[in-house]
Amino acid sequence: MIQLFTSTILSKMDAILKVMKIYFSGIGGVGVGPLAEIAHDAGYQVIGSDLEESLMTEQLRRKNITINIGQNGTFLRQCHLESPIDWFIHTSALPKDHPELLAARKLGIKTAKRDELLAHIIKEKNLKLIAVAGTHGKTTTTGMLIWVFKQLGIPVSYSIGTTISFGSSGEFDSDSQYFIYECDEFDRNFLHFYPYLSLITSLDYDHPDTYPSKHDYFDAFRQFASQSRRTIIWRDQQSDIFEKINEIDILDPQQINPDLRLAGIHNRRNATLSIKAIEKLGINQNINDILSDFPGTDRRFEKLAPNLYSDYGHHPIEIAATLQMARELSDNVVLVYQPHQNIRQHHIRDEYTDQFELAEKIYWLPTYLSREDPNLRILSPEELIQNLTNKNAVSIADFNDDLWNEIVKHLDNSQLVLCMGAGRIDSWVRQRLISNRKPE
């Protein structure tokens, strides 16, 4: 009887002490990779796979994380046989018939998207979540908050959806009280969270593949705010839908901090939100100078070479804001633009109007196709530019030598060239810089 009792107690202790084993499918990606790093640093056992090596897989291997290149399910089954896998984590983009996802379900492993796991970690580690949401500006604002915490020497855990020059894309600090997170609305991911403090940077209808209507989209943000203990938002950003929610701070546009030395109205708005967040957290520090020295994040008006910039923006509002920022730096701006997702273009084609007027010349590329409805006709560049007020400034282009030669000519003429889009355009420009000619 005593032996049975002791055995039961030891069995329960083993269960308590057992480290959760998490398998990350697509571990080299910008979303899954940082989460894998966070989980590892938080003390979980991490393994994973991807189809090819990347900078992220190299970074994770340096932490002795086991990664398999190849995703046919064999590696996952072997790992589960050695010791049971507790969670299988994947992105929203993983196909339903993916070999690893099918294998995980057959083995009875809990499967979840990355945000569900992150919400679990934040709750288990008793962290206060600072969530940055919004259609535009959430990456930059998240980066600004991380930058401020690091410059002030305050321990912080965080996850951001890009690479940054002042840290990893994801970090867990056991001494931190807060977790700063770029909280994405795609696939309703942000509704997994109950933030201590939320910042909503901006609101414009987006992700029609997730939200069939504007009402669905805005209502999801209303629900997100209702799940937050406190929320900060701008008055000119659909703020009326939040008025019945308790503990919400609505800022007027004239409250943009005048002491910020940052190019771009949208950057100064994002920095002002960051200042208000720091105030709400009770951190009594003047951070104007810190934010004015913010180095930026990758793919957000990132300088690749003299007068050559890359930006992730792919929505008319983002395009207008980034062009405004570019014109603060140069009177001669050239835009190379790649639309993102055909399904999105069907919803925003009529919104392409005067947002491009600050560009003297525009090169319009074919739409980057991703997560598409095969029954939806692909809109041509000629169709998408019909309502542009400066349509005469547009040249239809493609990824070839002719386009690169035009870019080089503009750079030789001391014009600022801005390459925008969330698809192939960034990697294409970077590769051309390496293999052809790097502008001096």
Do residues 132 and 276 share a domain?
yes
Assigned domain for 352 exists: yes
Which string of DSSP letters, residue by residue, matches 94-107?
Answer: S-TT-HHHHHHHHT
Answer yes or no: is 122 within a domain. Answer: no
Q: Are residues 80 and 150 in the same domain?
A: no
pLDDT in tens, 120-152: 999 999 999 999 999 989 999 999 999 999 999
Identify whether 74 is part of a domain: yes
Q: Are residues 143 and 279 in the same domain?
A: yes
Identify the pLDDT of residue 29: 87
pLDDT digits (tens, 9 = 90+) for 35-93: 999 999 999 999 999 999 987 899 899 999 999 999 999 999 999 999 999 999 998 88
CATH of the domain at 41: 3.40.50.720
% the chain with pLDDT above 70: 95
Residue 7 has pLDDT above 50, yes or no: no
Asked if 146 and 195 sit in the same domain, the reply is yes
Same domain as 173, residue 314: no
**pLDDT attached to residue 13:** 41
Residue 245 sits in the same domain as residue 355? no
Q: How confident is the model at residue 240 (pLDDT cuts 50, 70, 90)?
A: confident
- pLDDT at position 395: 98
Number of domains in the chain: 3
Boundary (domain end) residue, out of 55, 78, 113: 113
> Using 50, 70 and 90 to split pLDDT, how confident is the model at 12?
very low
Average pLDDT over residues 284-298: 93
Residue 121 lies in a domain: no
Domain contains 69: yes
Shared domain check, 96 and 164: no
Is there a single domain that holds both residue 346 and residue 282?
A: no
Q: In which domain, by residue range, is 354 found?
A: 302-435
Contacts of 242 (CB under 8 A, 6+ apart): 222, 225, 231, 233, 248, 250
Q: Are residues 145 and 77 in the same domain?
A: no
**Local structure of 227: helix, strand or coil:** coil
**pLDDT band at 6, cuts 50/70/90?**
very low
pLDDT at 424 over 90: yes
Supply the CATH number for residue 277's domain: 3.40.1190.10
Same domain, 159 and 70: no
pLDDT of residue 437: 58
- Kindly state whether residues 328 and 430 are assigned to the same domain: yes
Contact 302, 311 (CB under 8 A): yes
Is the pLDDT at 436 greater than 80? The verdict is: no
User: Starting from the edge strand earliest in sequence, which strands make up the sheet with 308-311, in order?
Assistant: 302-305, 308-311, 416-420, 333-337, 361-364, 394-396
Please state, in angstroms and rounded to a whole number, the distance separating the CA atoms of residues 301 and 165. Answer: 14
Which residues have a Cβ under 8 Å from the Cβ of 229 and sit 6 or more positions away?
194, 195, 196, 197, 247
Write down the pLDDT at residue 3.
52
Choose one of 292, 313, 338: the last residue of a domain: 292
- As a whole number of Å, the CA-based R_g of the chain is 23
**pLDDT digits 0-9 by tens, 209-226:** 899 999 999 999 999 999
The pLDDT value given to residue 11: 44
Whether residue 1 is contained in a domain is answered as no
Residue 153 lies in a domain: yes
Looking at the whole model, is its pTM more than 0.75? yes
| Residue 351 belongs to domain with CATH number | 3.90.190.20
Could you report the per-residue pLDDT of 252-274, keeping only the tens digit for each?
Answer: 989 999 999 999 999 999 999 99
Arithmetic mean of pLDDT over the chain = 92
- For residue 335, list its beta bridge partners: 362, 418
Give the separation between CA 343 and CA 77, rounded to whole angstroms: 37
Residue 297 has pLDDT above 50, yes or no: yes
Q: Quick: pLDDT tens for 400-409.
A: 999 999 999 9
Is residue 287 located within the same domain as residue 179? yes
From 246-255, 376-385, 395-404, the region with the lowest mean pLDDT: 246-255
* Boundary (domain end) residue, out of 249, 268, 292: 292
Cα first-last separation, the chain: 82
The answer to whether residue 2 is domain-embedded is no
